Structure 1
Amino acid sequence: MKHFSLSLLVVACWLLPGLATAQTVTGTVTESGQPIVGATISAGATGTVSDVDGTYELSLRNAGTYTLTVSYIGYGSQTREFTLAAGETVTWNVSLEGGATNLEELVVVGSRTAPRSSTTSPLPVDVFTSDDLTATGQQTFDKALQYRVPSFNTVQTPVNDATSLLDPYEIRNMGPSRTLILVNGKRKNMSALLYTQTSPGRGETGADISAIPTDAIKRVEILRDGASAQYGSDAIAGVMNIVLKDNAEDGSVTLRTGITTEGDGEQFGIALNNGTNIGETGFINYTIDLSKIGQANRPGMVDAAGEAADFGASIEDVRAFLSRYPDARNINASPETTASKFVVNFGSDVSDNTEFYGNAAYVYKKVNSFANYRTPYWRTLADFPYLADFFPDGPNGEYIGYVPTFEGNLNDYHGTVGFLTRKDDWIADVSFTTGGNEQTYTVSNSHNRNSTLNPDGTFKYRENSPITFDPGGTRFTHNVGNIDITRRLSDMVGIAFGAEFRNESFTVIEGDLASYEDGGADSFSGNDPRNSGTFDRYNFGGYADAAFDFTEDFLINATVRLENYSDFGNAFVYKVSSRYKFAEDQVTLRASFSTGFKAPSLHQIYTQKAQYSFVPGSGIQVGGLISNVSREARLLGLPALEPEKSTNFTVGVGLRPNSDLSITLDYYNIKVEDRIILSTEIGSTDAGNTPLDNLLAQNNLSDLSFFVNGLDTRTSGIDFVSSYRGLRFGDRSLVVNLSGNYTLQNERIGAVKNPEIVAGAGQSVANPTQEALFFTSRPKYKAILGIDYDLEKVGFSLNNTLFGPTEFRQQGLATGLYTEFETKVVTDLSIFYRLTEKFTLQFNANNVFNVLPEWNFKSESPAGDALLNNPAALQNQSNLITFNQRYSQMTYDGFHFSQLGTILTLSGSLRF
C-alpha cells in the first residue's frame, strides 16, 4: 500500500501540466511591525491570505489594472491600484491599523458588533490558518486541533461500537455538547450519535467536526468563553467558527500517504481545492477529499487465570487457546475508515449593495470495526452446538470462536444560502441553513442466541438465526433561519440585533426483527420499533447587542437573548464584556460575565434501547436505556429533563511589549446548574419488590440507565497563549509558540440530585465512575511548545505536546484504589521542501519517540495501600478493569493521544 501510494504521488505530479507565467503581487501584512496571520488580500474575486510570518503572494491571471484590498477582522482595510504588465511582479507591504468602526468584514465569534484582534479583544479568541492545521500531520480536523489548542481534547476509544464513527471532543472539560460549532458563522447540525458507552462525553452528542476536510478551511476561530447570549444553546464552553476558503483563482491538489512504524494503519488520500470566478464579481471555491485509513490493531495479552474465573472455564482449555492466540484474537485500536468529502463555498454581488453567498458540504464515511472476540470458552459448543456450523474458522475447519463485526455508515450534510445588504450604514444578513447527520449500522458474523420457540417446537433463532443483522440507526436534521442586523451609530456606539428560528428532528431508525427481538444480535442490539420513530421540536430566539467605545482604549459590550422552545418553554440569558488598553496598546485588560443555557437534546429526551456494555467483574451485560418520556419513566417517577443553566466569568490580560512578543493569560470560571447526565447503571434492590425490580425482571435486563438533571458543577482554570518572533537568523525569524491550559477546579457542587426511586434503592445516578468521567478523565494540564522556521526552500515545525495526568475510577474497582494516566510528552516533527514555486513536499513524523499511554494504580486509603502491596490482588483488579488485559494499555475509559505509536506521513502539494 505504501509503495503504491508513493508511486501514484510521483506519477500524478509528473502528469500535471506546467503553468503559464502569471502576474504577481507579493508583500507582508503587519500591525506595528507584528505579522498578521490570515489577512485577506483580494483583487475582485481573486484572493489569498497572509502566511504565519505575514507574507503573501497573489497571482493574477491576466495583465491589466487591478484594485487590491488588504483586510483583516478588526482592522481598517487598505486599497491600492496596480497596473501589471505580462509576467510582472510587484511588492506591496501593508501596515494595518485596528479599527472599531469597520463592520464590513466578517464578524468574528464573540461579538455581534465590531470584532477585535486576539490581544486587544474583550474575549479570548484563537485563530488558526489552514497551514497551521496541515502542519500537524494529523488525519482529521479534530485531531489537528488536539495538537494546536491546549483546552481542546478528544479521545479515541478502543471498542465502543458506534463511537468508532465519531470521537468525542470538548473544550475546557465541558463535554462535546457545550461547544457550539459554526461554519462561516452559521450553526452546524449536531451528529445523530449519542455517546452511551463508558468514555469521556458519555450521555452527550456534538457536531461532527472530523467530517470537515482541512483543505477546505481558510481559518478557524475559537472563542474560549460562554456565548449563549450571542448564539443560543450549546455555547456554554465556547464557540468554534470554521471559515471556508473563498479563493476564486488559485487551487491545489494534495496527495498524502502514511503508515505506522508497526506496519499497519496505512493511509492514502487525495484532496483537490480549486476556485473560479462567477461573472465579474462572484467566486466559487470547492474541495474534494477522498481518503482511506487501514485498520491498526493493538490488543493486550489476555490473562488465563482471569479468563477462567470470569467464564467458569477450565484453566487448561483457556491456556490451550491463549497459547495459540495470546491476544484472544481481539481486534481493537483504530478501525478501517473510508471517507469522501465535498465542500463548496460561493458568493457574488447581485447589486451595488447586496451580496448573495452560500456554502454546502456532504460527507460519507464508512467504518469497519469489531466487537470483543467471543472465545470458544465464552460462547461454548456445549451451550450453542450450532456454532460449529456457523463459524468453522479454525485451521482445520473447527470452531475457535468468532468476532462480531460492527460496520457503520455515516452521511453528514449542511448548507447555507443568504444575502448580505449594506444600505444607509445598516448591514443586514439574512440566511437559511439546513443540515443533517445519519448513521446506520450492520452487524455481521454474529447470531441471535435466544431460545424462543416457534409453535412447532423449533427454535426461532439459535441454529435458525441469521449471521448478518440490520440494527437500524439514528438521524438528526435541523433547519435554521437567521436575520442579523448591525450598524455603527457613531464612532463610540455600535449596535446589532437579530432573530433565529430553528426546527430540529431526531429519528430512531428501527432494525430488522432478528437484530432486536429477545436480546437481538450478540454484541449490538438493534432498535425496537416500539422505541423508534421521529421526534421534533422548534425554537425561536431573539437577541440585542451593543458595543460602547467610551474612549479609544475603553470598551463595553453587552448582549441579551430570549429563547422559546416548544418542549420546555423560555430561556433568558445575557452577557457583558469589557476591555481596557493602556501603555500605548501594549497592555490590554479584559473581562466578561455571562449567563447561559443548554437545551436537552432530542437524543437525550427520546433515546430508548437495550445496550451491550462491559461491566467489570461481570463481562458483557445487557442493560436498558429508558427515555424520560416513556411508560417506564412514568412507572419509575422520573422527572422530565430541563435545560442546563450556566454562569461564566472570565478575566484576562493581553500583552504586546514589542512587535516580536505577544502574550494572553485568561482565568475562567464556569458554573453549570442542573447538568444533564446519563445515569450510571441502576440495578435491582436488596428487597427485590420495588417497581425498579419489576421493570428489570419483566425486560430481562441486568440494569437500566436514563437521563436526568443530576449535578451542579464548577469548572475553573487558566489559559495561556504566547508567541515570540525575535530569534532572527538572516532575514528569517524562528517563531516560538507556547500555550497551555491548567484546570484549577472541576468538581461537583452539592449533593447528587437522585430521583426518589434511585435514592430509595440506596443507589445514585452518579457513582465514582461517572464522576471521574465528568471531572478527572481529562488532563489536569496540557501545554504545547512549538518551534517554526521557514527558509525560502525548506522549513520545519517541531511541536511538543504535554498531556498532564488523568484519574479514573472504573466501575467495580476495589475501594481505596483509582487509576492514573501518567504525564507524557508527545513530539511531532514536520519538514517541508519547496521543489518549485508551485510544488511542495511535506514529511511528518507524529509521536517521534513512540510514546504510549501508561497508567498505574494509585491508593487513596489504607485499604488501597494494602492492595498495592498484594501483587495477586492487584492483578485481579487489573484484570477486572481491562477485561483480563484486553485493554491493558489504555483501560476502557479512553486515552488522550494515539496508542498507535509513531506515524509517518508524506504529502505532495501542487498549487495552480
Structure 2
Amino acid sequence: MKKIFLLTILAMLGFRGLNYAQDKTLTGKVKDAKDGAVLPGASVVAKGTSIGTVTNSSGEFTLKVPVSVSVLTVSFIGYASKDVPVSTGFLNVSLDVASNQLEEVVISTGSRNSKRTMTDTPLPLDILSAADLKSTGQTSFDKALQYRVPSFNTVNTPVNDATSLLDPYEIRNMGPSRTLILINGKRKNTSALMYIQTSPGRGESGADISAIPQQAIKRVEILRDGASAQYGSDAIAGVMNIILKDKFDYGSATLTMGITAKGDGKHIGFSVNNGSNFEKGYINYTIDFSRTTLANRPGKVSADAEADASLGFGAPLAQVKSFLALKPDAGNVNGQPENTAAKFLINGGYSVGEKAELYYTAAYVYKRVNSFANYRTPYWRPTDNGLLTPAGQTYLGYVPTFQGDLNDYTATIGVKSESNGWKTDLSFTTGGNKQLYTVSNSVNRSLGKGSPTYFKPGGYEFSHNVGNIDVSKQVNDKLSLSFGSEFRAETFTVFVGDTSSYVGSGADSFPGTTPNNAGTNTRFNFGGYVDLGYDITDKFLVNGTLRSEHYSDFGDATVYKISSRYKFTDKVTLRGSYSTGFRAPLLHQIYQQQAQASFVPGQGIQTKGVVNNVSPQAFALGVPKLTPEKSTNFTVGLGLNPTKNLSVTFDYYNIKVKDRIVLGSEIEGTEAGNTALDNILTSNGIVAVSFFANALNTTTSGLDFVVSQKNVELGMGKLGINLAGNYTFENKYTSINNPKLIADADKSIFDRTQDALLFSSRPKYKVILGFDYLIKGININLNNTLFGKTRFHQNGLDANTDTEFTPAVVSDLAISIPFSSKTTFTFNVNNVLNVLPKWDFIDLKTGVKTRYDANNNVPSAKYYEQYNLITFNGRYSRVTYDGSQFSQLGTIFNASLNIKF
C-alpha cells in the first residue's frame, strides 16, 4: 500500500511537471507591513493562471512560472491582496492588514449582518486555521478541537456499541444537541445515532463532525454564545461554522502514519486536496482515505468477584480460575475500535453575472467501525450450542462482534447576488446520516441449535432538506439591516432487524429492532428573522435580532437577542449579550423506542427498554408530550490589546434552560408489582424502562479566557505563547419535573447516575498552554492541556460514595520540518509523558479519597465490592464503564509527509 501511495504522489508531480517546461523560478518572502512578522501560509499565485504556492514557516516561497508571467498576486487571510510585478532577484512582499477581510471572517457566524473585526465584535469567537488543527497531530477533526478549544470536550467510551461510530462532544457542558454545526454557513444534518448507553451525551444526538476531512478545512469559526435568534434550534450553547477551502492556490497530497506506544492502534491515512481556478470560477476538492486498527486496553479480571453470586456469576471458583489463567482479561476487547473511512468533498463557485455567484458544496463519507461486546465466558454462557466452537475443540466462550456501517452526506447549492447595495443569498441544502448494524459471532439462545451466528439488528437514518433566503444591506454608515427565512423538513427512520435478531431473547449482545418499534416519522418547520445593527457612536455598537418559528408537531417559538460592545480605547473593549433561545425536541427523542442490552453493575448484561414519547406505555406512565426547551443566555466580556503582540479576552457566560429534555434513569417495577409500570415491564419482557421528558430546569455558568503573545525574540527564532482556558462555576439542575405516576411510586426519572453523566462528568476546568517556536524554517509546537477533575456516581455505588477522575496534564509535541517549499515532514508525539486516567473513590462524609489497588486490597478492602460492581469485575479498570475526561490510549506517535504540487 505504501508503494502505491508513493507512486501516486510521484505520478501527480510528474504530470504537473510537464506544464512547467521552459519556466522561470521566482523566490521571495512575505511579511506583515506593520511589524515585519513573517506570514507562513500566504498564497502566491501567478496572476491569470492557476499556478501557485504558499509560503513556508519562514514566510518564504519558491515558484516556477511560465516566462510570460509578469505579475504575482499575494494574499493572506486578514490582509489586503497585493499584485507584485515580477523582477529579477529576491522579492520582498509586505501586506497590509485589511479589516474588511477580517470582517468577512466574522460575519458568517457572529451576526447576520453587522461586519466587525475581531476586536470590535460584541460576541466571543474562536477562529482556528487549518494549521492550528494540523499541529495537534490528532487524526480526526473532533479530537483536534478537543486540544485547541477549552470549552469543547469529547470523550471516548470503552465499549458502547453504536456509540463507537462517533463520540459525543459538547461546548460549555451543554451536550451535543445544543451546538449547531454549519458548513460554509449552512446547517449540517444531525446524526441518526442517539446515545442511549450510560455515557456522556446520553439521550442526545449531534452532527458527525469527525467525518469531515481536515485537509478540506480552511478555518473553523466557533461562536461561544447562544444563537437561536440568528439560526433557530440547536444553537443554545453556540455555533460552529466550518469554512471549506475555496479558491484554488495549490494542490497537496498528505500521507499520515501513526501507532500507539504499545504497538497497537496503527493508523494510516492518505488524502489529496486539489482543484482549479478558471475564468469565471473555481473548484476545490478533497479525497481522504484512512484506517485505524484496534487498540485494546482491558483490565485484569478478579476471579473471586466473577465467582461471587452478587458481583459476578456464582460459578465454581475453580472453573473461573481455570478460564482466567488462559485469559486474565476474561477475553474482553475494549479501548479504540477498528475504523475504516473514505471521505469525499467538493466546494466550488461560478460567476453568473457582474455581481452574482453560483456556489455549491457536496460531501460524502463512508465509515465502518468494528468493535466488540463483552466476552461471553463459559461460566456466563455455558454453551454456544456447538455453533461457534469448531468440532473437537474445548468450548471457551465467545465474543460477539459489532459492526457499524455509516453513510453521511450533505450538499448545498445557492446563488449570492448584489443589487443597489442589497445582498441576497438563496440556497438549498440536503443532508442525511444512515447507520446499519451487524452482529456476528453470536447466537440467539432462545433458538437453540437453529440460531444463526450472523444478525442484522437494524439501524437508523436521519435526513433533512433546508431552504434559506438571507437578505442584507448597509443602509448607511450607522445602520445595517438583514432579514431572511428558513424552511426545513426532517425525516427519521428506524429500520427493523431480521427476525432472528429480535425474536425470543434476541441476538446475544445487541437484540434487533422489532417491527412495532420500527417506522418512519417526519415533520417540517418554517422560520423567519430580522436583524438590525446600529453604531450609536464610533465606539458604541448595538445589535438586535428577532426570530419566530413554526413547527408542524408542537407549534410556535419566538426568541430574541441583544448584543453590544463599547470601545473605551483601541486597547480596551467591553462586550456583552442577552438572548432567549429554544431547542426543538429531536425526532429521535420523540419516536425512538427499543430494547437495549446494557451492563448493570452486579447483574451483568440486562435488557432494558426505551419507550417513545408518543407510545401507549408513555401515556400510561403519565408522560406528557415533549415540548421545546427554552433558554436564556447572558454573556459579558472584556477584550484587551496592551501591545500589538499581546491580546487578552475574558468572557463570562450564564445559561439557564427550562424544560430541558433528558432520557430518564431506568425505572424498575415496584415491590407490590401491581402498577401500570409493572404491567409495562412485564408485557415487554424488560427489567427497566426509560423515556424522554422535559424533566429538568438547569443552570450552567463559567468563564472563558484567552491570552495570546506573539513574536517573542528567543535565540535565533521567534516564540508565540497561547494560554486559553474554561472554568465552570455552576453546572447543575435547579428542579426536577417528575410525572405524577412516577412521583407517587416514590421514584424519579432523574437519579444520581444521570446527574453525574449530565453535569459532573465533564471537566470542572480545562486549560491549554501552547508554545510555538519558529527557527530557521522549523516549527516546534508544544501544547499542554490540563484536564480538570470529573466525578461519577455509577449504578452500584452506595449513597455515601462517588468516583472522581483526578486532574492531569497531557502534553503534545509537534515538529514540522520543510524539506523544500513543496515538501514538509511533521512528527507528532501525543501524550508525550504517557499520562493515563486515574480515579479514586471518595467518601462523601469525610472527603477522604482512596485509590483502589486491584492487586492488593489492603488498605482499600472496603471498596472491594463497589470496585468490581462499576468495572465489571476489573474489565474496565482504567476508565470505568463510563469513560474518563481524556483518552486511555497513552502515548501515540504520528508522522505525516505533505507534498504540494
TM category, shorter: over 0.9
**Which whole-Å CA distance do the structure 2 matches of 1:417 and 1:623 have between them?**
44
How far off is 1:103 after superposition? 7.4
The aligned residue for residue 127 of structure 2 is: 127
Query: Which of 307, 317, 325 pairs up with 1:315?
Result: 317
How far off is 1:83 after superposition? 3.8
Distance 1:864 1:653, change over 3 A: closer
**Which whole-Å CA distance do the structure 2 matches of 1:14 and 1:72 have between them?**
31
How far off is 1:95 after superposition? 2.0
Which is further off, 211-220 or 760-769? 760-769
Distance 1:792 1:34, change over 3 A: closer
Which is further off, 869-878 or 773-782? 869-878
**1:302–1:884 CA contact under 8 A, matched in 2:** yes
**Which whole-Å CA distance do the structure 2 matches of 1:414 and 1:360 have between them?**
6
The aligned residue for residue 827 of structure 1 is: 811
**1:449–1:462 CA contact under 8 A, matched in 2:** yes
Query: Which of 693, 706, 709 pairs up with 2:694?
Result: 709
**2:43–2:55 CA contact under 8 A, matched in 1:** no
Given residue 728 of structure 1, which amino acid in structure 2 is its aligned partner?
E
**1:45–1:247 CA contact under 8 A, matched in 2:** no
Query: Which of 820, 837, 843 pairs up with 1:853?
Result: 837
Give the count of matched residue pairs.
Answer: 884
Which is further off, 730-739 or 204-213? 730-739
The aligned residue for residue 502 of structure 1 is: 488
The aligned residue for residue 878 of structure 2 is: 889
**Which whole-Å CA distance do the structure 1 matches of 2:64 and 2:360 have between them?**
24
**Which whole-Å CA distance do the structure 2 matches of 1:530 and 1:606 have between them?**
12
Given residue 161 of structure 2, which amino acid in structure 1 is its aligned partner?
D
The aligned residue for residue 455 of structure 2 is: 469
1:446 aligns with 2:442: yes
How far off is 1:388 after superposition? 5.0
How far off is 1:517 after superposition? 1.5
The aligned residue for residue 299 of structure 1 is: 298
1:216 aligns with 2:216: yes
The aligned residue for residue 474 of structure 2 is: 488
**2:543–2:562 CA contact under 8 A, matched in 1:** yes
The aligned residue for residue 346 of structure 1 is: 348
Q: What do you get for the CA RMSD once the two structures are aligned?
A: 2.5
**1:412–1:435 CA contact under 8 A, matched in 2:** yes
**Which whole-Å CA distance do the structure 2 matches of 1:47 and 1:818 have between them?**
61
Given residue 532 of structure 1, which amino acid in structure 2 is its aligned partner?
A
**1:45–1:283 CA contact under 8 A, matched in 2:** no
Q: Which runs of 5+ in 2 are unaligned?
A: 853-857
How far off is 1:25 after superposition? 7.0
How far off is 1:732 after superposition? 4.0
The normalised TM-score by structure 2 is 0.94
The aligned residue for residue 178 of structure 1 is: 178
Distance 1:682 1:53, change over 3 A: same
How far off is 1:636 after superposition? 2.0
**1:45–1:248 CA contact under 8 A, matched in 2:** no
The aligned residue for residue 409 of structure 2 is: 413
The aligned residue for residue 280 of structure 1 is: 279
Given residue 699 of structure 1, which amino acid in structure 2 is its aligned partner?
N
1:48-67 equivalences in 2 (<5 Å): 55=59, 62=66, 63-64=68-69
How far off is 1:866 after superposition? 12
Which is further off, 191-200 or 396-405? 396-405
**2:216–2:286 CA contact under 8 A, matched in 1:** yes
The aligned residue for residue 458 of structure 1 is: none
1:764 aligns with 2:748: yes
Query: Which of 582, 587, 593 pairs up with 2:568?
Result: 582
The aligned residue for residue 896 of structure 2 is: 907
CA offsets per residue over residues 397-437 of structure 1, 9 Å max, x none? 11100011000000000011111101111110111100000
CA offsets per residue over residues 271-306 of structure 1, 9 Å max, x none? 0001112x3021000000000100010000001111
The aligned residue for residue 610 of structure 1 is: 595
**2:716–2:775 CA contact under 8 A, matched in 1:** no
CA offsets per residue over residues 325-383 of structure 1, 9 Å max, x none? 100000000000000000110001111110111111000000000000000000013xx
The aligned residue for residue 839 of structure 1 is: 823
Query: Which of 544, 555, 562 pairs up with 2:541?
Result: 555
1:575-654 equivalences in 2 (<5 Å): 575-583=561-569, 585-654=570-639
Distance 1:637 1:34, change over 3 A: farther
Which is further off, 30-39 or 479-488? 30-39
Given residue 302 of structure 1, which amino acid in structure 2 is its aligned partner?
V
How far off is 1:631 after superposition? 1.8
Distance 1:144 1:763, change over 3 A: same
The aligned residue for residue 855 of structure 2 is: none
How far off is 1:462 after superposition? 1.6
1:28 aligns with 2:31: yes
CA offsets per residue over residues 550-600 of structure 1, 9 Å max, x none? 2222111111100110001111111111111123x1111110111111100
How far off is 1:53 after superposition? 8.2
**Which whole-Å CA distance do the structure 1 matches of 2:117 and 2:57 have between them?**
16
How far off is 1:790 after superposition? 2.0
The aligned residue for residue 437 of structure 1 is: 433
Which SS does the other structure have where 1:229 is aligned? helix
Which SS does the other structure have where 1:363 is aligned? strand
The aligned residue for residue 721 of structure 1 is: 706
Which SS does the other structure have where 2:145 is aligned? helix
**Which whole-Å CA distance do the structure 2 matches of 1:744 and 1:863 have between them?**
20
Distance 1:92 1:251, change over 3 A: same
**Which whole-Å CA distance do the structure 2 matches of 1:341 and 1:481 have between them?**
25
Which SS does the other structure have where 1:307 is aligned? helix
**Which whole-Å CA distance do the structure 2 matches of 1:51 and 1:836 have between them?**
11
**Which whole-Å CA distance do the structure 2 matches of 1:163 and 1:839 have between them?**
38
**Which whole-Å CA distance do the structure 1 matches of 2:187 and 2:291 have between them?**
29
**2:596–2:609 CA contact under 8 A, matched in 1:** yes
Which SS does the other structure have where 1:391 is aligned? coil
Given residue 299 of structure 2, which amino acid in structure 1 is its aligned partner?
G
Which SS does the other structure have where 1:389 is aligned? coil
**1:31–1:97 CA contact under 8 A, matched in 2:** no
Which is further off, 191-200 or 853-862? 853-862
1:34-433 equivalences in 2 (<5 Å): 55=59, 62=66, 63-64=68-69, 68=73, 70=75, 72=77, 78=80, 80-84=82-86, 90-99=91-100, 107-277=107-277, 279-309=278-308, 310-381=312-383, 387-392=384-389, 397-433=393-429
Given residue 706 of structure 1, which amino acid in structure 2 is its aligned partner?
F
**Which whole-Å CA distance do the structure 2 matches of 1:59 and 1:678 have between them?**
58
How far off is 1:72 after superposition? 4.9
Given residue 347 of structure 2, which amino acid in structure 1 is its aligned partner?
N
**Which whole-Å CA distance do the structure 1 matches of 2:354 and 2:26 have between them?**
28
How far off is 1:526 after superposition? 1.1
**1:260–1:266 CA contact under 8 A, matched in 2:** yes
Distance 1:38 1:545, change over 3 A: farther
CA offsets per residue over residues 193-214 of structure 1, 9 Å max, x none? 0000010000000000000000
Given residue 790 of structure 1, which amino acid in structure 2 is its aligned partner?
L
**1:47–1:248 CA contact under 8 A, matched in 2:** no
**2:385–2:449 CA contact under 8 A, matched in 1:** no
How far off is 1:525 after superposition? 1.1
Q: Which runs of 5+ in 1 are unaligned?
A: 382-386, 451-460
The aligned residue for residue 557 of structure 2 is: 571
**Which whole-Å CA distance do the structure 2 matches of 1:31 and 1:306 have between them?**
69
Distance 1:25 1:46, change over 3 A: farther
Which is further off, 325-334 or 515-524? 515-524
**2:430–2:464 CA contact under 8 A, matched in 1:** yes
Which SS does the other structure have where 2:537 is aligned? coil
**Which whole-Å CA distance do the structure 1 matches of 2:273 and 2:851 have between them?**
58
**Which whole-Å CA distance do the structure 1 matches of 2:388 and 2:201 have between them?**
36
Distance 1:58 1:749, change over 3 A: farther
**1:173–1:778 CA contact under 8 A, matched in 2:** yes
1:788-803 equivalences in 2 (<5 Å): 788-803=772-787
Given residue 875 of structure 2, which amino acid in structure 1 is its aligned partner?
R
The aligned residue for residue 457 of structure 1 is: none
The aligned residue for residue 455 of structure 1 is: none
Given residue 406 of structure 2, which amino acid in structure 1 is its aligned partner?
L
Given residue 805 of structure 2, which amino acid in structure 1 is its aligned partner?
F
Which SS does the other structure have where 1:64 is aligned? coil
The aligned residue for residue 727 of structure 2 is: 742
**2:491–2:522 CA contact under 8 A, matched in 1:** yes
How far off is 1:37 after superposition? 9.0
Which SS does the other structure have where 2:91 is aligned? strand
